[in-house]
């Protein structure tokens, strides 16, 4: 009996993101059961709920990818991690950055004019470190300190 390809792709994305998180110095735990997040990343003793998404290629512009994130409410997920199977790249965004859909550009900045580069969400800029830093900044702002 064949498996649903979407489920297989999702599992592969989870493994790729877990490996990338380990490379970033995290310990990674997997959830069991129905949760809004797939992984728990232990980053310097801070537990982060990570929802993994396989990035879908935009048919009109093959260097653009999107994540569908409309099924999540505030406070359910700390970070969204995207995985681009064609390149093996991972990228990270905080829940407040993604909205109901998140688009990212897989081109390098050198391939764009300055105006487009300034507007683009480049995959190489959406690192784990950047996302965690932004998450901590948001917590400080919301905490009033």
CATH code for the domain of 89:
3.40.1350.10
CA pair distance 78, 96, nearest whole angstrom: 9
- Give 72-84 pLDDT, tens digit per residue: 888 899 999 999 9
Q: Which domain holds residue 52?
A: 5-143
Return all residues near 3 (Cβ < 8 A) that are at least 6 apart.
none
Answering whether pTM is above 0.85, one says yes
- Give 15-59 pLDDT, tens digit per residue: 999 999 999 999 999 998 888 999 999 999 999 999 999 988 887
pLDDT for 1 equals 67
At 144, the pLDDT band (50, 70, 90 cuts) reads low
Instruction: Report how many domains make up the chain.
Output: 1
- Let me know if 23 is exposed, middle or buried by CB neighbors in 10 A (0-12, 13-18, 19+): exposed
């Amino acid at each position: 009996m064949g498996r649903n390809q979407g489920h297989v792709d999702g599992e592969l994305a989870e493994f790729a993101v877990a490996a990338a998180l380990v490379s970033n110095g995290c310990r990674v735990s997997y959830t069991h059961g129905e949760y809004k997040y797939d992984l728990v990343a232990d980053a310097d003793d801070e537990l982060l709920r990570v929802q993994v998404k396989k990035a879908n290629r935009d048919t009109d512009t093959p260097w653009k990818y999107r994540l569908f994130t409309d099924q999540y409410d505030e406070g359910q997920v700390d970070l969204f991690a995207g995985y681009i199977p064609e390149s093996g790249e991972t990228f990270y965004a905080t829940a407040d950055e993604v909205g109901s859909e998140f688009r990212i550009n897989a081109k390098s900045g050198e391939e764009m004019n300055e105006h487009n580069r300034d507007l683009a969400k480049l995959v190489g800029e959406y690192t784990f470190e950047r996302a965690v830093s932004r998450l901590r900044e948001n917590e400080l702002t919301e905490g009033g300190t």
